[in-house]
Amino acid sequence: MQTVNHWFHRNPLKSTAIVSFDHRTSPSNTDAMQICHQLRQLRLELLQSICNPMLETVNIRDTFDKYISLLTGFITPPEGGTDDSKLRYTTKFYWSDSLTKTDTITDVQDAQFEICCMTLNIAMWYTKHAAYVASKSSTPSDKDALDIHKSLRTAAGMFKHVMDVEVRKLHDVKLPACSDVNDKVLAAYYYSCLGEFHEVTVARAMNAKQDSALISSISNQIAQYFEMGGQQLSSLDEKNVGQWRMYFGLKSKFYLAEARAYQALDFLKKNDAPNALKAAEEASKVQQQAASFCEQYSKTKGAGSPQRHPFFLQLDSLIRRVQSTVEFENNVIHHKRAAAELLPLDTNPTHGILPAEEYIPAKLNSLFTPDAYRAFDIGRNVGKPYKEDKHARDVKEVREMPIPQGMPTSDSACTIA
């Protein structure tokens, strides 16, 4: 049986400062005060909970949806219409970025920025939850495999929603180049999740002994996802994205090698020895490129040693087995030379490839009635300068629970930095 040892790279969660929500909104009745109170409590609960990847997804999603349902009143008035909520620009939010940690803190006086950042943080939590579930066993149960797949597919949908919808609602916001809200960074996260949840798909296809051509095609599609993810980071500062780019590179080469190996088996099944030999040779060549990326990755700060991880050792075993099988069959039966030209891989899997799961934000909370909305007396602060809390920029890194990846030996464990 094909074990399911996954190697995942995970960037740190975003950090943020405490937000009161009533600093300049001036709630003047019980319902308005209750909205601010619940926003504070839900936000704090979310930020504490997502440090733990072991929690159930339903618990995180329920708290997140409640928070967004209330925060939506800071974006859109309860009466509807095209105008912004009068509360939208009353509160300043401070956030770090996953690629630069707390070295750079961005503050934006816009609740839409909070929507973007908190949604991204929850999406990142889903990816870490998937990594935790994958780390529990090299042969996960059907329930665990589905949890990994669904969590990564959900995260992909959330990244896509922020990229396509929420970021477009920000206006005249100056952001650092490696901001998580940068289109290229968002796209990299999106492609990473697309590739990773399909890793579960192809592993299950191998266990089910599906047709070699199908496995090759899915593996090639995964390789393309990781290739596209790495391309998004090519114009960004290598100091901030170098390790992540190497992750995309090693995963892309890994699945390209796997695609070629199964292509070789498919050619052999069709008694096409020349092309089987050529594909097997290419699989070995690309596998060496993957090994090179692994070695480079392991030398970066905070990284483990993926080349000694079962996930990559399994690829080495596969390539050697395929080469041995192809060469033996050719020596005994076909007596052919390898083809001069390498045939292309199938780029259109017949099944197995799914889009990201569509993310639908929670609707406005029923507590946000027109009366409650009118009770926010923001006119009291018109013309007054924004008084920043002296501790507002004292944003500390999130203390996350480390995750061993795929049950490797202790010296090769990849943990959340």
Residue by residue, DSSP assigns 137-163 as -SS--HHHHHHHHHHHHHHHHHHHHII
Q: Where in the chain is the domain with CATH 1.25.40.280?
A: 216-355
> By 3-state DSSP, what share of the chain in percent is helix, strand and coil, each rounded to 5?
55, 5, 40
Q: Which of 170, 67, 180, 184 is nearest to 117 (CA)?
A: 180
Match domain 216-355 to its CATH number in 3.90.1010.10, 3.20.20.110, 1.10.645.10, 1.25.40.280.
1.25.40.280
Q: Is the pLDDT of residue 384 over 80?
A: no
State the Cα–Cα distance between residues 212 and 218, nearest whole angstrom.
Answer: 10
Q: Distances from the Cα of 391 to the Cαs of 19, 21, 37, 134, in angstroms? A: 11, 16, 20, 39
Which amino acid is present at 227? Answer: E
Q: Which of 161, 163, 164, 174 is nearest to 108 (CA)?
A: 174
Token pair recorded at residue 391: 């501790």
Name 94's bridge partners.
107
Q: Which residues contact 169 (CB under 8 A, 6 or more apart)?
A: 75, 112
Q: Is the pLDDT of residue 410 over 50?
A: no
Token pair recorded at residue 124: 């990142």
Arithmetic mean of pLDDT, 118-134 = 96
Arithmetic mean of pLDDT, 261-289 = 96
Q: How confident is the model at residue 405 (pLDDT cuts 50, 70, 90)?
A: low
Q: What is the radius of gyration, based on Cα positions, of the chain? A: 25
Name 106's bridge partners.
95
Q: Which of 388, 361, 365, 373 is nearest to 88 (CA)?
A: 373
Output the pTM of the full model: 0.93
Lowest mean pLDDT among 2-11, 281-290, 302-311, 364-373: 302-311
Token pair recorded at residue 37: 């109170």
Q: How confident is the model at residue 4 (pLDDT cuts 50, 70, 90)?
A: low
Q: Distances from the Cα of 6 to the Cαs of 136, 199, 309, 412, in angstroms? A: 11, 8, 9, 13
State the Cα–Cα distance between residues 239 and 300, nearest whole angstrom.
Answer: 10
Q: Which of 172, 197, 301 is nearest to 189 (CA)?
A: 197
Q: Give the per-residue pLDDT at 381.
A: 73
Q: How confident is the model at residue 393 (pLDDT cuts 50, 70, 90)?
A: confident
pLDDT tens column, 153-206: 999 999 999 999 999 999 999 999 999 999 999 999 999 999 999 999 999 999
The answer to whether 342 and 282 are in contact (CB under 8 A) is yes
Token pair recorded at residue 76: 């859109």
pLDDT tens column, 326-364: 999 989 998 999 999 999 999 888 888 999 999 999 999
